[in-house]
Amino acid sequence: MSIFSFLVDNRMTISLIADIIGIGGALSAGAALWQLLKTKKEHERLNHIVSVVLQCTEDNRQIIPMMVVRRKDITRAELQGILGTIQMAQAHNRYKLSDLNSRKFWEDIERIRASENDNELIIPCSSKEIEQFDPSAISYSGYKIQ
């Protein structure tokens, strides 16, 4: 029996095997495309810009630092670095914000990292805490005080 006669006699079997391989290839390509789109969406989510806002709990004063952070980079250290760029009322002093040591602050960081739509991290602070920063950095209801 030659190869040619084997192929002719078994063409239905070979056709069925080829169809199964084709369907398997199409399913694999579909799964790869789905994974690619899922990865692209996650990459876009992680690259969203998150703004940081120091919000006084006693009035409408707030400070929005000039620097922003990408969702993938938002950590306590990164946030402290951003807050450190805000000019202080008394030069060479370091800011003190009690909320940075709270469990809620850690939960807020995790919430922002996991979120798709939450693009603002609000750090509550007291009047005394917000007044340690230079008055030119403080806004009132979203407008800079002149």
Alpha carbon separation from 103 to 59, 84, 107 (Å, rounded): 23, 21, 6
Query: Residue 9's pLDDT is what?
Result: 64
Q: Are 67 and 91 in contact (CB under 8 A)?
A: no
Query: Residue 39's pLDDT is what?
Result: 93
State the Cα–Cα distance between residues 138 and 98, nearest whole angstrom: 18
State the Cα–Cα distance between residues 129 and 122, nearest whole angstrom: 14
Residue with tokens 């409408």: 60
Beta bridge partners of 61: 140
Helices (DSSP H) in the chain: which residue ranges? 3-9, 11-46, 76-83, 103-114, 127-130
Query: Residue 38's pLDDT is what?
Result: 94
Query: Residue 1's pLDDT is what?
Result: 55
Query: Residue 4's pLDDT is what?
Result: 59
Per-domain residue ranges of the chain: 3-44, 48-144
Run means of pLDDT, 10 residues per run, the chain, 146 residues = 61 79 94 94 91 90 88 92 89 89 93 89 93 84 46
Query: Residue 18's pLDDT is what?
Result: 85
Query: Residue 98's pLDDT is what?
Result: 92
* Residue (of 134, 131, 54, 61) closest to 99 by Cα position: 54
Query: Residue 145's pLDDT is what?
Result: 42
